[in-house]
């Protein structure tokens, strides 16, 4: 399969957002606009006063998700046990900005991190319950894998090129032999189930905590229907060993789906290792390797 396109990101600043809001939503023209801390990569995110947030795609490929979120989030939200962002206004291109954009309510909370979770097993069970509810929503007519979600829900073969490049770059730094074994097993564990809804990017930054408990799930830009194994990558990237076991049991994840989820986690982590000197990706790699080598994880 050919490599996925490399998005050509644009820049957006608060002044541009103020102009867009003033023209298209004059009722909010007086609200202060400021960037959201850790606002993400696929979208530029700005506070619009205290209760709203403006979310503007950073590239044409990311803009493909806007219509999907507008259509499906209002349908999904009532069926889910935790708050998710539901659009309140649909923005148009303007003020030099070329894409559709959206206004959402601001959902409060802190991005999840291991030392911020009050009870790791309860957190894992709450997250698994959320995913079970999402997977239980009727998938008929839902968005199939594609560029709009970077082929989440499809086979891992899409990412073979990026995995091989990462392994070549990390030769001598990590156990590339074990990584290739895990990857080969994941790719071979074909999915033969019926379509299920998935979030597509269940990552710490998209899970919000209040008082150490899971309070909301945000950023559905990669959502769709297909194989939900991509959502189980969080088992290695955030959950503790006991949380991981509880998560797997709650979702009744079979061996093949678990292998695919581990493959998704491996891909994300290998790429992160090549892009950052931070130790966190290597810690996660240790979790992935430890489980597969029989060591406590």
CB burial of residue 34 (10 Å; 0-12, 13-18, 19+): exposed
Q: In what order do the strands lie in the sheet with 207-210?
A: 110-111, 207-210, 213-217
- pLDDT per position as a tens digit, 75-97: 999 999 999 999 999 999 999 99
Taking residues 246-263, what's their average pLDDT?
A: 98
For the chain, the average pLDDT equals 95
What pLDDT is recorded for position 296? Answer: 43
pLDDT band for position 293 (cuts 50, 70, 90): low
What pLDDT is recorded for position 277? Answer: 81
What pLDDT is recorded for position 28? Answer: 98
pTM value surpassing 0.75: yes
What domains lie within the chain, and their CATH numbers? 14-105 (3.30.200.20), 110-292 (3.90.1200.10)
- pLDDT per position as a tens digit, 176-214: 999 999 999 999 999 999 999 999 999 999 999 999 999
């Amino acid at each position: 399969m050919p490599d996925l396109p490399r998005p050509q990101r644009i820049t957006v600043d608060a002044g541009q957002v103020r102009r867009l809001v003033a023209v298209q939503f004059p009722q909010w023209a007086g609200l202060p606009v400021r960037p959201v801390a850790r606002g993400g990569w696929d979208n530029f995110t700005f506070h619009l006063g205290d209760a709203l947030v403006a979310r503007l795609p950073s590239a044409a490929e990311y803009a493909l998700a806007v219509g999907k979120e507008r259509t499906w989030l209002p349908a999904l939200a009532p069926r889910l046990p935790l708050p998710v962002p539901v659009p309140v206004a649909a923005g148009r291109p303007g003020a030099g900005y070329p894409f559709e954009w959206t206004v959402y309510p601001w959902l409060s909370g802190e991005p999840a991190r291991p030392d911020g979770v009050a009870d790791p097993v309860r957190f894992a069970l709450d997250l698994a319950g959320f995913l079970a509810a999402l997977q239980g929503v009727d998938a008929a007519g839902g968005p199939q894998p594609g560029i709009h979600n970077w082929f989440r829900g499809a086979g891992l073969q899409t990412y073979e090129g990026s995995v091989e490049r990462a392994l070549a770059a990390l030769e001598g730094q990590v156990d590339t032999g074990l990584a290739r074994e895990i990857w080969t097993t994941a790719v071979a564990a074909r999915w033969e189930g019926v379509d299920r809804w998935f979030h597509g990017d269940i990552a710490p930054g998209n899970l919000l905590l209040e008082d150490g408990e899971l309070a909301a799930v945000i950023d559905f830009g990669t959502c769709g229907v297909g194989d939900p194994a991509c959502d189980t990558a969080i088992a290695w990237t955030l959950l503790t060993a006991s949380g991981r076991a509880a998560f797997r049991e709650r979702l009744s994840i079979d061996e093949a789906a678990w292998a695919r989820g581990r493959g998704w986690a491996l891909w994300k982590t290998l790429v992160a290792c090549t892009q950052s000197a931070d130790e966190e990706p290597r810690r996660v790699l240790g979790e992935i390797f430890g489980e597969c080598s029989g060591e406590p994880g």
